[in-house]
Amino acid sequence: MSRSLKIAFIVDPLDKLKAYKDSSIAMMREAAARGHAVFTIRREALTWRDGVVAARALAIRPTANDHAWYEPGDEAVLPLTAYDAVIMRQDPPFDFEYVTATWMLEHAVAGGARIFNDPRAIRDHSEKLAICEFPQLAPTTLVARDASDLHAFIDELGDAILKPLDGMGGSQIFRVRKDDPNRNVIVETLTHEGRRTIMAQRFLPEIVEGDKRVLIVGGEVVPYSLARIPKAGETRGNLAAGGRGVAMPLTEREREIAETLAPVLAARGLLIVGLDVIGGHLTEINVTSPTCFVEIATQTGFPVAGLFVDKLEQACR
């Protein structure tokens, strides 16, 4: 691309990001290497006044040093339309403040700002519930809050996974067997005694081979997944739960799932999507801040961040 872009990233506190593995930093480094100007914004800095959505932003120059990974530049309050692209990469929890941010960002889009992923699409795609649109690709699943419904599901399948709808990183995920003596308390705890809706899914024994993260960038399927393989005695492959990440070529089934979803999700303004696939079954569609760019690139040589910047440059033409 001939012209330099101004790209703002809405991210978590910079000192909390782990540069050696953070996908957002990989994106920033690639963008800066191509001569684009990089800025960072904290979500709480967003403001709306008289029809204009703005934010205090810090210009940075990313470095290759994982300890001091950026050099700070000037800080200024600018409308989001001042940037060629704004990348929403704030991690969950997907709480009311997060929803408020998507509303504000949607107003910015209406005013001419380019924001990826599209804020309405982020808000409309619950990372857990989004699979309900594609039941033919998902394992047997129940979404409910009534204990009798959940217990009937466990009894029917004999072995199930229960999880909250707003968790991340493997938090509060339970495997519950039909004869589990703790099943009542697990259901009570997860549902807040019937006041919170949760998801139950058939347990997939293929988890021992990994919870596969499959990336879609700008409608293009990355040809490698990152298999998050559980540590011994665990049923969660999440890296945050101690899983081991191993990059590997997509299976025929994983590619089929990703190619089916890619044009649908891209048309909704979802530039970066992370599918979770276990044993050929779609279990989640991650749209807030999908990760694994660095691990896949390091282990396979495939330039995931480069593909992201390619697609972003195309979108900004």
Task: Show which residues are catalytic.
Answer: 128, 163, 213, 228, 236, 276, 284, 286
DSSP state of 30: H
Q: Is 120 exposed, middle or buried (0-12, 13-18, 19+ CB in 10 A)?
A: middle
Distance between CA atoms of residues 153 and 159, nearest Å = 9
From the list 237, 218, 211, the residue with the least C-alpha distance to 305 is 218
Residue type, 190: L
Could you give the CA distance from residue 105 to residue 45 in angstroms, rounded to a whole number? Answer: 12
User: In the structure encoding, which two tokens stand for residue 61, read together?
Assistant: 């120059």
Close Cβ partners of 106 (under 8 Å, ≥ 6 residues apart): 119, 120, 123
Which contacts (CB < 8 Å, 24+ apart) does range 91-100 have? 91/12, 91/168, 91/288, 91/289, 92/127, 92/166, 92/168, 92/288, 92/289, 93/166, 93/168, 94/126, 94/127, 94/166, 94/288, 95/166, 97/43, 97/44, 98/43, 99/123
Q: Which residues contact 96 (CB under 8 A, 6 or more apart)?
A: none
